[in-house]
Structure 1
Amino acid sequence: MKVAKRREAMLKAVLSGTSDVSALCEHFGMSEATVRRDLRALADERRILRTYGGAAPSVGTHEPEESLDIRRESFRAQKEAIARAAVLHIKDGDTIFLDGGTTTAALARYLVARRDVHVVTNNLLAVGILAPSEVRVTLVGGDVRPSSLSTLGPLAEVALSRVSFDKAFLGADGVVAGRGLCEASAEQAWLKECVIRQAANVFVLVTSHKLDHASQQHWTPLERHWTLITDAAPNAPELVTFALRNEITIDTAA
């Protein structure tokens, strides 16, 4: 394996929770000296943090958030495909939660003709789509986040503690197998954790470029079974770390 590819694989392993030198040696079948050299190189690039006996994700590295206008226009075909796959999981009589974001808003467009579905959401884009329809919609109140047109904060958290869901459909800035969902703010990450606690089934809707992508600093752990719905092809390399984990079901929209 070429050095660059090997280090990319090691970075993904660290982001997925395999951070001890001895565990990395066993996982990759490499010598301790080679593993330590690769970890040192990744740390020099500020992609990870070196720790005693291993490494950890670099919590100081994050990407600037894209504007809502850019996110609305980017990966539109992929988001539509994900939405079409996600709506097949929604049955008449379900109470569902739609998270903030443009992919979950795409899912809302596939619900406008439904009647026997109750949608609870903090997504103002989804509310605008569903309000004229016959779908029952409950808006979770709270502080409005302009960059995503969603609500969050203490009022939203209290409201979520008073309702449960058959299915929750979550978006994310990135998703890493074994670690969870990454978000730009602690409030966003905590709100998703509140939703997960109240849901019988959890679905994560992300385009393939977000897989194994730790783009932000704040994390929502996924410590239960969940379903990943993505546009990646079934045999895509970026799905490998997800496919190896028993607690994840993968539904590809490709």
Structure 2
Amino acid sequence: MSMRSRERRALLMDALSAGEIDVDDLARRFSVSASTVRRDLQHLSATSAVRRTYGGAILARHPVETTLAERHAVNGAEKRAIAQVAIALIEDGDTLILDAGSTVAAFGQLLRRRRLRIITNNLALLPFLAEAPGLELVVLGGGVRTTSMSTVGPLAVEALRLMTADRAIMSADGVVAGRGLCEASLDQTTLKSLMIRQSREVIVLADASKLGRAEQTAWAPLPRTWTLVTDYGAPADQRRLLAEAGARLHVAGL
């Protein structure tokens, strides 16, 4: 998909978040043909992001949440590039909170030779980190979400209340300027919000497809200043909006 198509589809999702939109209105707004808009909507409909209506579309009410394995397969090169850039933002001796998610998992796999204290609910990382000699590893207990291979719930929240960190490395289903991080469940965003509060600095790892995406209904607000590591495909309008919302941007190339 070209950057122009990627940017237009992100803007389509923003437009749809305000309610049902007519194809002809969208075509005029983006200065493209109605058939181009229909192709974009067909693509978004195939990914369960929108539901087609007669002459237009609306956001799907209950987006299908993909599994962790499916997420690993999407934008893998971009996620690895983001992880490489993010590694330069941490220092030996740091205490890190590592969130769940495939991009954070790519980041976590690069930490095995570092000297760090890691607090995490990301169960997918345990085989990579448990025997690393320079790491002190604290795993948050709780209920297991098999789709993300992570722990959530009151046990994880109560454990995290006892700890603070230098940096929280975060992921999300979507990152929206002025609103924060969206996820499929309140259990996820409750824990994410606490991760943010318990950390001195927040670093969000999100590939370009996540920016401006507001498909899910549970939100974790971001602090006034935070760091975003994304990839070269991030649309210019999203970079501007997120910078205005307090993000310090780092863009990874391939």
Aligned letter for 2:83?
A
Residues of 2 paired with 1:127 and 1:6: CA distance? 38
Residues of 1 paired with 2:72 and 2:167: CA distance? 24
Residues of 2 paired with 1:112 and 1:219: CA distance? 31
1:158 paired residue number: 158
Matched residues, percent identical?
A: 41
Q: Give the root-mean-square deviation of aligned CA atoms.
A: 2.6
8 A Cα contact 1:104 1:126, kept in partner: no
Cα offset for 1:83? Answer: 0.5
The structure-2 alpha-carbon separation of the partners of 1:154 and 1:9, relative to structure 1 and needing over 3 Å to count, comes to same
Instruction: Verify: 1:74 aligned to 2:70, yes or no.
Output: no
Aligned letter for 1:154?
P
TM-score normalised over the length of structure 2 = 0.76
TM alignment of 1:237-252, pairs within 5 A: 237-245=237-245, 247-252=246-251
The structure-2 alpha-carbon separation of the partners of 1:199 and 1:103, relative to structure 1 and needing over 3 Å to count, comes to same
Cα offset for 1:233? Answer: 4.8
> Structure 1, residues 53-109: CA drift from partner, whole Å, max 9, x if none?
xxxxxxx73420112221122211111001101111110110001001111111111
The structure-2 alpha-carbon separation of the partners of 1:91 and 1:223, relative to structure 1 and needing over 3 Å to count, comes to closer
> Structure 1, residues 223-244: CA drift from partner, whole Å, max 9, x if none?
4211111113577343231133
Q: Secondary structure at the match of 2:72?
A: helix
> Structure 1, residues 208-251: CA drift from partner, whole Å, max 9, x if none?
00100012111111142111111135773432311333x21111
TM-score normalised over the length of structure 1 = 0.76
Residues of 2 paired with 1:146 and 1:228: CA distance? 27
Residues of 1 paired with 2:74 and 2:13: CA distance? 26
Residues of 2 paired with 1:235 and 1:206: CA distance? 13
The structure-2 alpha-carbon separation of the partners of 1:235 and 1:209, relative to structure 1 and needing over 3 Å to count, comes to closer
Q: How many residues align?
A: 211
The structure-2 alpha-carbon separation of the partners of 1:45 and 1:208, relative to structure 1 and needing over 3 Å to count, comes to same
Q: Secondary structure at the match of 2:242?
A: helix
Residues of 1 paired with 2:15 and 2:58: CA distance? 16
The structure-2 alpha-carbon separation of the partners of 1:7 and 1:111, relative to structure 1 and needing over 3 Å to count, comes to closer
Gapped regions of structure 1 (runs ≥ 5): 18-43, 48-59
Q: Secondary structure at the match of 1:132?
A: coil
> Structure 1, residues 13-69: CA drift from partner, whole Å, max 9, x if none?
896x9xxxxxxxxxxxxxxxxxxxxxxxxxx7434xxxxxxxxxxxx7342011222
2:85 paired residue number: 85
Displaced runs of 4 or more, over 4 A:
5-11
Gapped regions of structure 2 (runs ≥ 5): 1-6, 19-55
The structure-2 alpha-carbon separation of the partners of 1:211 and 1:7, relative to structure 1 and needing over 3 Å to count, comes to closer
2:179 paired residue number: 179
